[in-house]
Structure formats: C-alpha cells, structure tokens
C-alpha cells in the first residue's frame, strides 16, 4: 500500500487528546447565527417593502397633485409655447405651487410632449433643451403615466444632495389630454432616516430576542456542558494515567497525541520529539511491517500484532511490544483518527524464554535420568540372567552329585568316608 501521508504538513504539537467543544456551544452558535441571518433577511425584506410602498404612494400623490395643479394653473399650449411671456408666467406659478404642495422638493423640470425642456430651476440645463428619446424615459412615462428612478450624478452634484430621487408624471387637462411631462427631484434624506429608524428598531428587537435566546440556551445547556467536560477530563485522566502506551494518528499519518506511558515505552522525555511526526517515516515501523498495519487501520480495519523492536539502550538489546489499533470513526462511518495502544511485553517474553529454557533443561534431565535408569535396568536384567543361569547350573550340578552318590551307595561305597 502506498504511503500517501508523507506529503502533508505536520499538525500542531499537542500533548493531550484534544477535547471537542461541547455540543451546547455549537448549538448556541448555530441558534445565534440563524437568528442573525433571519434578522438580516427580515430587515431587508420589510424595509424594501416599506420603501417600495412609500414611494409608490408618493408617486401616486405627485401624479394627483400634478393633475390638479395642471387643471388649475395651466392652459392648453402653455407648455408648447413656453417662450411666450404669459405661458412662462403660468409655468412659474405652477412650479411655485408644486413646491408648496409637494414636500421635500429639491428641483423641477417641465417638458413638452415632444421632449423639449420648457421650464426648470436647475442651472446646468436651460429651457429649449431637447431630451433624447433614446434613453426611453419619455416612452416609459407615456406608457405608465408616472415613473420613479434614481437621480443622475450631475443633478446630485449641482444640488449637493446624495439622497435624491426623480419622479415623473404626465400633465393632463380635464379631458385627459397630455399637455407635457413633469419631472420633480425629491430629497429623500428624511425618508432614508425614517427607513433607517425602522431598520434599527427591527435590529433592536432581533438583538433583544437573540440575547434572551442565548441566555436561555446557555442556562439550558450549562449543566450538559459541565457533564461533558467532566467526562472529557475523566477520559483524559484515564489515558494519561494508563499503564499502557496510547497515541493517536490522523488520517495523514501524523501523530497527534502521546500519553506518558507511551513516552516511557519509547524512551523519550519530551512529546515534541514525536508529536507531529509521520508514523510512515519511522524506519522501525517499515522494518517490522507495522507501517502496513497502520495504513490498514487508517483504512478502517482494526489490527493486533506483536513486534520486536530494537531498544534505544543498546544496539543488540531487543524489546517486544504488543500493538492494538482501533479506527476512530465519525457518525458517517469515516475514519478520522487511529487509536494505537502499545504494551511493552519484553518482561513477558523474557519469562516465556526462561520457562522454555527451563522446560528444555527439565526435558534434557529427564532424558538423561531415563537413560541412566534404563542402563541400570539393563544391568540388573543382565545380572538377573547371570544369577538365574548360575542357579540353574548349581541345581543341575546338585542333581548330578545326588545321582553319583546314589550310584556309589548302590555299589557299597560310602561317599562320606
């Protein structure tokens, strides 16, 4: 299996397993974020509705006032004959009354039906200017009778106002005939202030709600936070005080944590010697095949093995370790870390060696004793055979002697004389 972890940078040095933030804090953050996002959306939505409603109402109001003033002050042909003194005077009166009846008016323009500027109080343009049909404004006013749009930068600069809108409406007589077009510039700073006040009010309500929700949520989760922290400290204490070496590896193969027992087993005094290093770069792991098992563990397969490791105390000194790897998975089933538990079994291996040697010695002694006993048995058997043969020969000899004695006695000879 190829080592894909070597190309990644090392993680920050950590001595203990990092405790995850309590769920309560994440919940509070999520609630706060949701309220803020909803607040921004609600503020944007309602202020847009209010602003749209206000300007639609204001545009309709301007159109109504323009219609009434047109009927009252202007005659047919006044806009077309704007150069006529009497017509121009009536246009002046119309404009004067329009400023009286329409608040926040900054400037005005009156156009003829063919787009010629008949009257204005702006300085940068003069009556007689022909408005181009190409911009589409006149066509839109003819079609809709009214229109609202942002003012141009030139007009804003002349009037010295940043918050400026222009409202268009048709100028009609009693019979509905169009006499011209009325363009009025509104200073919207007061309106914008009003809208901002609405925004601030909404935000004040949202912030108040946010504060209340956060306080209630924090109180609700405070006890849970305490329990989670206690459990985390308890588990961390178990790991720190465990007699078994424990360390964790991330998915890239970098060591994230090292408990004291693992430091003792490895013969190091500072975790910085190991934290952040890649397990796949370790020569001993490559020699004893542990790198392949670690890679398998990061792939989601638990492993258990015993390996022989060269001790740092001497070149020929061997130590033995028992490794047990457990993949740590998230709720989705993906491996996020590998938990490795290491036990120094050198003492046990040494004891097993001594037991094996002693057993071998005992077996050797038993074999020697068995051979010695067998030799004794063989010797006794030989002695027994010799003894039995001697007794048989003695018995036979006695029988022969008895036979000879009997013969002598039968011949009149006393064998004892």
Q: Which CATH number fits domain 24-195: 3.40.190.10, 3.40.309.10, 3.40.50.1360, 3.30.450.20?
A: 3.30.450.20
Element containing residue 307 per DSSP (H, E): strand 303-310
pTM confidence score: 0.44
Element containing residue 264 per DSSP (H, E): helix 260-266
Instruction: Name, in order, each residue with C-beta under 8 angstroms of 54's C-beta and a sequence gap of 6 or more.
Output: 191, 195
- The answer to whether the CB of 254 falls within 8 A of the CB of 277 is yes
- The answer to whether the CB of 322 falls within 8 A of the CB of 345 is yes
Whether 24-195 and 245-344 share one fold: the answer is yes
| Model confidence pLDDT, tens digit, residues 42-88 | 777 777 787 777 777 777 888 888 888 888 888 888 889 989 999 89
Report the alpha-carbon distance of residue 371 to residue 361 in Å, rounded.
15
Report the alpha-carbon distance of residue 373 to residue 365 in Å, rounded.
12
- The answer to whether the CB of 185 falls within 8 A of the CB of 102 is no
Q: Around Cβ 295, how many Cβ atoms within 10 Å?
A: 20
Nearest C-alpha neighbor of 342 from the set 234, 264, 250: 264
- The answer to whether the CB of 246 falls within 8 A of the CB of 264 is no
The tens place of each residue's pLDDT in the chain, 417 residues long, gives 333 333 333 333 333 334 444 455 677 677 777 777 877 777 777 777 877 777 777 778 888 888 888 888 888 888 899 899 998 999 999 989 888 888 888 899 999 988 899 999 998 889 998 888 667 888 888 888 888 888 888 888 888 888 888 888 899 888 888 999 999 998 888 777 877 787 788 778 877 887 887 787 777 777 777 787 788 788 778 888 888 899 999 999 999 988 999 888 888 888 888 888 998 988 888 888 899 999 999 999 999 999 888 765 555 567 888 999 999 998 888 999 999 999 988 888 888 888 888 888 787 777 777 877 887 887 777 777 777 777 777 787 777 777 777 777 777 666 665
For the chain, which residues make up each domain, given as ranges?
A: 24-195, 245-344
Q: Nearest-5° angle of CA 218, CA 222, CA 228?
A: 130
- Per CATH, the architecture of 245-344 is what? 2-Layer Sandwich (3.30)
Report the alpha-carbon distance of residue 278 to residue 252 in Å, rounded.
8
């Amino acid at each position: 299996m190829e080592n894909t972890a070597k190309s990644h940078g090392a993680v920050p040095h950590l001595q203990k397993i990092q405790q995850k933030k309590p769920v309560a804090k994440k919940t509070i953050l999520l609630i706060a974020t949701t309220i803020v996002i909803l607040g921004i959306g609600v503020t944007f939505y309602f202020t847009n509705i209010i602003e749209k409603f206000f300007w639609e109402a204001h545009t309709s109001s301007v159109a109504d006032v323009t219609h009434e003033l047109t009927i009252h002050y202007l005659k047919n042909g006044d806009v077309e004959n704007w150069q006529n003194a009497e017509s121009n005077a009536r246009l002046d009166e119309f404009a004067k009354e329009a400023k009286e009846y329409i608040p926040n008016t900054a400037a005005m323009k009156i156009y003829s039906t063919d787009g010629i500027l008949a009257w204005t109080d702006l300085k940068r343009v003069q009556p007689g200017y022909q408005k181009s049909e190409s911009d589409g404004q006149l066509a839109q006013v003819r079609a809709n009778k009214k229109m609202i749009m942002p003012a141009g930068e030139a007009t804003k600069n002349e009037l010295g106002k940043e918050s400026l809108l222009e409202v268009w409406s048709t100028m009609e007589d009693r019979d509905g005939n169009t006499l011209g077009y009325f363009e009025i510039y509104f200073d919207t700073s007061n309106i914008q202030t009003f809208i901002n006040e609405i925004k601030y009010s909404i935000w004040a309500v949202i912030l108040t709600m946010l504060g209340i929700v956060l306080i209630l949520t924090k109180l609700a989760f405070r006890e849970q936070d305490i329990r989670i922290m206690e459990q985390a400290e308890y588990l961390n204490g178990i790991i720190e005080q465990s007699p078994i070496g424990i360390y964790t590896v991330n998915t890239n193969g970098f060591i994230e944590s090292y408990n004291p027992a693992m430091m003792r087993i490895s013969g190091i005094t500072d975790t910085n010697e190991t934290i952040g290093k890649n397990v796949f770069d370790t020569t001993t792991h490559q020699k004893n095949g542990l790198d392949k098992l670690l890679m398998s563990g990061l792939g989601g397969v638990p492993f258990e093995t015993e390996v022989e490791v060269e001790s740092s105390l001497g070149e020929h000194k061997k130590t033995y370790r028992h490794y047990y790897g457990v993949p740590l998975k998230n709720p989705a089933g993906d491996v996020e870390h590998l938990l490795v538990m290491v036990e120094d079994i050198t003492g046990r291996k040494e004891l097993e060696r001594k037991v094996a040697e002693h057993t071998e010695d005992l077996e050797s002694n038993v074999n020697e004793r068995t051979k010695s006993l067998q030799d004794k048995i063989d010797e006794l058997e030989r002695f027994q055979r010799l003894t039995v043969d001697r007794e048989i020969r003695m018995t036979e000899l006695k029988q022969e002697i008895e036979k000879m004695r009997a013969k002598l006695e039968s011949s009149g000879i006393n064998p004892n004389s």
